Amino acid sequence: MKCQYCSHPDTKVVDSRETDDLSAIRRRRECLKCSKRFTTHERATNADIVVIKKDGAREQYDRQKVLLGIRKACEKRDIKDEVIEQIADEVEARVRNHRSTEVPSLVIGRKVMAGLKKVDNVSYLRFASVYQEFEDISSFERELKTLKNPKKPPKASGPTRRFH
């Protein structure tokens, strides 16, 4: 496995563990030349999984594509690559648990959004708007509002304090 940063052919495995759903072995590798670390996944191929897009087009499930979409949404946000990989893992587990090998892209998109929402609101909104999950601008604005005011604090039961 060559280094993803400098293409040096020698890397060492620094950590190795199964993903939560046991569908893959995740290996943390370190480049022997530039010392950067990256993650690889060893898994059965997903060639049997087909994604059905909104327009009805079908394509093979591709983890790289999912990762690309997540990375794009997280651009310039302070989000670790491990976190992005983890969201992709969650998506993959969801895809594998789907009742059929044909998975609507909606299922994938929603899972990505659920993952991003836990991590970073900006990335979440970016992904959601690119993904056109919102039917119109007003539902987008509604969502934005709920993110800005997550649950109003309960009214204080005592006398209202004034600061001026």
Q: Please, how many CA atoms are within 13 Å of residue 78, restricted to the half-sphere of its CB? A: 0
Q: Strand, helix or coil at 98? A: coil
CB nearer to Zn ion: pick between 35 and 60: 35
**Residue 42 CB partners (closer than 8 Å, separation 6+):** 24, 25, 27
29 binds Zn ion, rule: CB under 5 A: no
Instruction: Tell me the closest approach of the beta carbon of residue 84 to Zn ion, in angstroms.
Output: 20
2 binds Zn ion, rule: CB under 5 A: no
> Which of 1, 2, 6, 20 is the binder for Zn ion (CB under 5 A)?
6
The footprint of Zn ion on residues 101-130 (CB under 5 A) is none
- Size of the residue set binding Zn ion (CB under 5 A): 7
> Which of 31, 74, 95, 125 is the binder for Zn ion (CB under 5 A)?
31
Residue 92 CB: number of other CB atoms within 10 A? 23
Whether the Cβ atoms of residue 52 and residue 63 lie closer than 8 Å to each other: no
Name the site residues for Zn ion (rule: CB under 5 A): 3, 5-6, 8, 31, 33-34
